[in-house]
């Protein structure tokens, strides 16, 4: 593992600090009075996202910092899993759902989209974050009408997001009337009537926006997009717009297909795996099992990331007795600690080393048979790579040439290569370019359409890929709209709609007047929190379907509705009729590798007034569309088989959907690149030229990336510990290189104000704690969504329009009136 410890600290072009020499002070508390002043004008209503951590600090005495851990999961993860499960749901209700989680006859994890084994599955086939997600919706606490009567929206707005999540499950529909200070109960029928009235009073269907979270299963996603299009709009933004839109853009341009190409068992067959820009130990821990299997089969693994992540250092498999006892499998053979957005120069350097080897000995580094038969544009790529400067490659990536050449030699030795990536490469000004440069490597080595090789786009939420398959997209393809028209006998709108960022701008300037959110926490998921809050507050009506209260429920339009839904673990029963008793429904999801399988909860709902998301959407559509629809929405609400029959008529790969989804383990969707079929303009996989990005930093400026903590899933804060990074009880922090802090004269745990700089604009968030962390020089990391206030709404990648959460230029100054009280 010596190579894993070799960080850019050990070269003059690199960070000057390695994870090995990082020695923070232990257990030194700091009492923070942190409060973010980058608020919208409606600060009391918004609550200011900065209100997250004042409460945390007051309650728990602020930051405690330890050394980052060097081994992931093991007994600590098991203890943490049951701590959350039993603490929120109790012994029985906390344990039993975990035994059905990710089982072929159980329910799909409401957390990430990592796939399940096609073969036999362990009865404990879940991870720590999956257990937290289940505990989150199995919570015994209830938010009743009495709770809302005793807490005004203004009072709730001053609480932290963690506190809001800890108040328990929503139990009945609630409405915030115009001018009211408190939410009040409303019947389901009256809620649907209110939605219908507001939507049908719009001057144009395009004044309505229908947002989707990646948790929504296939059935509700298909019904939702059909409802929106029968209403008359393609305004169907989703969470993909903010995370993997750049991946879909790049994959479609290169492969003609917007999804990854590998299957789960390819990891065990691979000989070289690049893990780029993600943190599997926290965000998708079950991936570590596959990396462990690959290592045991002789594969080499290269980790590429600005921060060392514990899960890629070593893995204690909790499914194995020795793993529970602390025995760990080393994971990464080589850690390439790139500077933030150093991925294009790194992979261009790997390509350059390969081509230099090819120029020395023909056929030694380029898979010419594959390249000639299945690709286009190789000569343009070769010219670009040959002309690239090694000095620029090393300077911008932050990686020594010798390490790049080592990675290239390993790639030259095999064509069984997987490149796996996540948001660390997508949320940049050049996100598609980052991915395209990695795909260039796969194409040059012929690492496609064979076992153990291909592209692994690791999705976040449990059905985010399935939602897009179901047609939740603001830019639908003509072929999809044609199929929808033929199946349901109407003319769908053809003009492209608003994505997530454009939806915010439309609401802000008055073009979006009704906002419906199928799950999620739109306010905190978007960049430029203050601007987004202003946008939402300018609408006539905001509607959110969800299981728990979150910040988006506190920043509403003129009126606001909360529609509580069943969780993934809970039984979804159809209403009994004169001819049929109540029957249990099920839904289905698509994982990151294109497998569709059913998900059926069996546990008693948190409230008798809850509905399944699918039934809510169908009843909403019936109320809004009335006689203008060709769909029997009440029948769909009572029988999800009818929705799946509709899906089978429209979506390729879903023939006989109802029969195939009932087969345990589900079925694979078509994946043309797995068969060397590339549906591009050239009919082949396309090489691309991707320039090395330049980052022009003034003295005292840094490139900041946002990250998630270990006790977090997207915007949901489960707890206050970032265990692997050694950061506890405080989220308002800025991680900085030790030498940068010394150069700026910032002592550890100093309160600082953070200012972002973008095209002459500045935004300042006050009172963050500066902490030493093993990150490259001139780089910084802050938690999402706390740092979102710093990222301008206009700062997006031009092709995908994905916000640049991973690349914001910032500067620091001592906080005004800073009194450092660390001891």
* pLDDT > 70: percent of the chain: 92
Q: Could you give the 3-state DSSP secondary structure of residue 780?
A: strand
- Using one digit for the tens of pLDDT, what is the confidence trace for 9-29? 322 223 333 322 223 222 223
Range of weakest confidence among 13-22, 466-475, 489-498, 534-543: 13-22
Question: Which residues, listed in sequence order, are joined to residue 564 by a DSSP beta bridge?
Answer: 546
pLDDT of residue 756: 97
pLDDT of residue 8: 29
pLDDT, one tens digit per residue, over 784-802 is 999 999 999 999 999 999 9
Three-class SS state of 671: coil
CA dist 628 and 200 (Å) reads: 11
The percent of residues in the chain predicted with pLDDT above 90, rounded, is 76
The C-alpha atoms of residue 462 and residue 220 are separated, in whole angstroms, by: 14
The Cα diameter of the chain in Å comes to: 80
Start-to-end C-alpha separation, the chain:
36
Q: Which helix (H) or strand (E) holds 781?
A: strand 779-783
CA-closest candidate to residue 724, choices 150, 80, 61: 80
Higher pLDDT, 277 or 83: 277
* Cβ-Cβ contacts under 8 Å for 326 (sequence gap 6 or more): 71, 74, 75, 316
Residue 354 has pLDDT above 90, yes or no: yes
pLDDT of residue 714: 87
The phi, psi pair for 463, rounded to 5°, reads -135, 30
- Residue 607 has, within 13 A of its CA and on its CB side, a CA count of 21
- The answer to whether the CB of 525 falls within 8 A of the CB of 714 is yes
**Cβ atoms of 192 and 173 closer than 8 Å:** no
Do 640 and 219 touch, CB atoms closer than 8 A? yes
Start-end of H helices in 325-419: 343-360, 368-374, 378-387, 390-397, 401-412
3-state secondary structure of 704: strand
Please tell me which residue, 93 or 472, carries the higher pLDDT value: 472
CB atoms within 10 A of CB 296: 10
Element (H, E) at 98: helix 91-100
pLDDT score, position 198: 98
How distant, in Å, are the alpha carbons of 1, 347, 412 from that of 450?
30, 22, 16
- Calculate mean pLDDT across residues 713-733: 92
pLDDT on residue 818: 45
Closest CA to 715 of 239, 269, 314: 239
- Asked if residues 630 and 585 have their Cβ atoms less than 8 Å apart, the reply is no
Give residue 581's pLDDT band: very low, low, confident or very high (50, 70, 90): confident
> Which helix (DSSP H) or strand (DSSP E) does residue 304 occupy?
strand 300-304
Distance CA 110, CA 100 (A): 12
Backbone phi and psi for residue 280, each to the nearest 5 degrees, phi listed first:
-65, -30
Cα→Cα distances 606→92, 95, 164, 548, 613, Å:
15, 16, 17, 11, 14
Spatial neighbors of 578 by CB under 8 A, at least 6 apart, are none
Distances from the Cα of 307 to the Cα of 424, 705, 723, 730, 776, angstroms: 10, 10, 15, 19, 8
Distance of CA 146 to the CA centre of its chain: 34
Span 749-766, average pLDDT:
96
Question: Bigger pLDDT: 107 or 71?
Answer: 71
- The yes-or-no verdict on residue 499 having pLDDT over 60 is yes
Residues 200-213: pLDDT tens digits? 999 999 999 999 99
- The answer, yes or no, to whether residue 461 has pLDDT greater than 60, is yes
**pLDDT value of residue 61:** 47
Q: Are 703 and 122 in contact (CB under 8 A)?
A: no
CB 702 within 8 A of CB 779: yes
How high is the pLDDT of residue 580?
A: 75
CA angle 682, 685, 686 (to 5 degrees): 75
**Per-residue pLDDT tens digits for 37-53:** 333 323 223 332 223 33
- β-pairing, 727-728 with 721-722? antiparallel
Residues 97, 135: contact at Cβ < 8 Å?
no
Q: Which residues pair with 802 in a beta bridge?
A: none
Transcribe 770-792 into DSSP letters: EEE-S--TTEEEEETTGGGGGS-
pLDDT digits (tens, 9 = 90+) for 625-659: 999 999 999 999 999 999 999 999 999 999 999 99
What mean pLDDT is reported for the chain? 89
Evaluate if residue 533 carries a pLDDT over 60. Answer: yes
Residues 690/692/696/700 CA torsion (nearest 10 deg): 120
- Give the residues across from 97 on adjacent strands: none
Are the beta carbons of 209 and 506 closer than 8 angstroms? Answer: yes
| Eight-class DSSP state of 177 | -
- pLDDT average, residue stretch 117-138: 79
Would you say how long the chain is, in residues?
Answer: 823
Quote the CA–CA distance of 583 and 637 in Å, as a whole number. 12
Give CA–CA dist 193/195, Å, rounded.
Answer: 5
Report CA-CA distances (Å) from 614 to 159, 543, 605: 31, 15, 15
Taking residues 508-537, report their average pLDDT: 97
pLDDT digits over 213-272, tens only? 988 999 999 999 999 999 999 999 999 999 899 999 999 999 999 999 999 999 999 999
* Burial (CB count <10 Å: 0-12, 13-18, 19+), residue 27: exposed
**What pLDDT is stored for residue 4 in this prediction?**
26
CA distance 819 to 191: 50
Instruction: Tell me the three state secondary structure of residue 209.
Output: strand
pLDDT over threshold 70, residue 154: yes
The pLDDT value recorded for residue 427 is 95
């Amino acid at each position: 593992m010596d190579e894993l410890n070799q960080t850019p600290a050990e070269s003059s072009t690199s960070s000057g600090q390695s994870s090995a020499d990082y020695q923070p002070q232990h257990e030194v508390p700091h009492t923070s009075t942190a409060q973010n002043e980058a608020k919208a004008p409606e600060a009391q209503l918004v609550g200011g996202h900065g209100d997250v951590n004042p409460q945390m600090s007051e309650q728990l005495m602020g930051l405690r910092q330890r050394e980052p851990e060097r081994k992931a999961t093991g007994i600590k993860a098991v203890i943490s899993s049951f701590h959350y499960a039993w603490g929120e749901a109790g012994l029985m209700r906390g344990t039993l759902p975990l035994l059905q989680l990710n089982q072929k006859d159980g329910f799909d994890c409401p957390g990430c989209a990592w796939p399940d084994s096609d073969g036999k599955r362990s009865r404990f086939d879940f991870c720590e974050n999956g257990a937290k997600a289940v505990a989150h919706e199995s919570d015994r606490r209830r938010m009743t009408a009495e709770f809302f009567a005793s807490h005004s929206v203004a009072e709730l707005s001053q609480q932290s997001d963690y506190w809001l999540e800890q108040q328990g499950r929503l139990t009945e529909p609630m409405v915030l009337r115009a001018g009211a200070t408190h939410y009040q109960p409303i019947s389901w029928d009256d809620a649907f009537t209110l939605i219908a009235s507001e939507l049908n009073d719009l001057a144009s269907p395009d004044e309505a926006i229908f947002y989707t979270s990646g948790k929504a299963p296939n059935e509700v996603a298909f019904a939702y997009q059909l409802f929106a299009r029968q209403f008359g709009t393609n305004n169907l933004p989703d969470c993909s717009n903010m995370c993997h839109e750049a991946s879909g853009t790049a994959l479609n341009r290169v492969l003609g297909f917007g999804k990854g190409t590998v299957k789960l068992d390819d990891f065990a067959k691979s000989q070289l795996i690049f893990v780029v820009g993600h943190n599997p130990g926290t965000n998708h821990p079950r991936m570590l099992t596959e990396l462990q299997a690959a290592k045991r089969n002789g594969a080499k693994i290269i980790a590429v990331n600005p921060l060392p992540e514990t899960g890629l250092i070593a893995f204690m498999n909790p499914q194995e007795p020795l793993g529970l006892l602390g025995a760990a499998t080393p994971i990464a053979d080589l850690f390439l600690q790139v500077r933030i957005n150093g991925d294009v120069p790194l992979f261009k350097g790997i390509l350059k080393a390969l081509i230099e080897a090819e120029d020395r000995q023909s056929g030694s580094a380029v898979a010419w048979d594959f390249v000639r038969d299945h690709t286009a544009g190789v000569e343009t790529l070769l010219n670009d790579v040959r002309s690239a400067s090694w000095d620029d490659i090393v300077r911008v990536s932050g990686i020594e040439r010798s390490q790049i050449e080592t990675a290239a030699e390993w790639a030259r030795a095999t064509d069984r290569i997987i490149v796996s990536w996540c948001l660390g490469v997508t949320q940049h000004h050049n996100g598609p370019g980052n991915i395209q440069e990695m795909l260039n490597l796969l194409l040059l080595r012929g690492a496609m359409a064979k076992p153990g090789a291909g592209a692994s786009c690791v999705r976040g939420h449990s059905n985010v890929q399935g939602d897009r398959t179901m047609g939740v997209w603001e830019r639908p393809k003509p072929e999809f709209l044609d199929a929808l028209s033929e199946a349901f006998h109407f003319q769908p709108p053809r003009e492209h709609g608003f994505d997530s960022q454009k939806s915010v701008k439309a609401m802000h300037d008055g073009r979006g007047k009704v906002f419906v959110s199928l799950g999620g926490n739109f306010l905190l998921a978007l960049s430029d929190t203050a601007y987004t809050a202003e946008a939402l507050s300018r609408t006539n009506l905001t509607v959110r379907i969800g299981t728990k209260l979150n910040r988006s429920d506190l920043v509403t339009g003129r009126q606001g509705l909360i529609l509580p839904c069943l969780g993934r673990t809970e039984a979804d029963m159809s209403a009994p009729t004169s001819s049929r008793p109540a029957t249990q429904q099920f839904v289905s999801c698509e994982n990151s590798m294109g497998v569709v399988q059913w998900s059926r909860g069996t546990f008693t709902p948190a409230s008798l007034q809850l509905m399944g998301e699918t039934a809510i959407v169908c009843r909403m559509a019936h109320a809004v569309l009335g006689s203008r629809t060709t769909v029997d929405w009440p029948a769909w609400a009572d029988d999800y088989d009818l929705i799946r029959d509709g899906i089978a008529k429209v979506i390729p790969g879903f023939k006989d959907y109802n029969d195939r989804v009932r087969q345990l383990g589900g079925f694979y969707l078509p994946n043309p690149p797995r068969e060397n079929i590339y549906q591009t303009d050239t009919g082949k996989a396309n090489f691309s030229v991707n320039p090395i990005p330049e980052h022009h930093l003034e003295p005292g400026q840094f490139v900041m990336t946002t990250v998630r903590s270990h006790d977090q899933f997207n915007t949901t804060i489960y707890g206050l510990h970032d265990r692997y990074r050694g950061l506890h009880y405080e989220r308002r922090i800025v991680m900085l290189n030790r030498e940068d802090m010394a150069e700026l004269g910032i002592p550890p745990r100093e309160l600082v104000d953070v200012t972002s700089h973008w095209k002459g604009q500045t935004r300042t968030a006050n009172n963050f704690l500066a902490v030493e962390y093993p990150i490259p020089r001139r780089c910084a990391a802050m938690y999402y969504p706390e740092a979102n206030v710093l990222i301008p709404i206009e700062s997006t990648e031009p092709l995908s329009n994905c916000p640049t959460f991973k690349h914001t230029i910032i500067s620091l100054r001592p906080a005004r009136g800073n009194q450092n009280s660390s001891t």
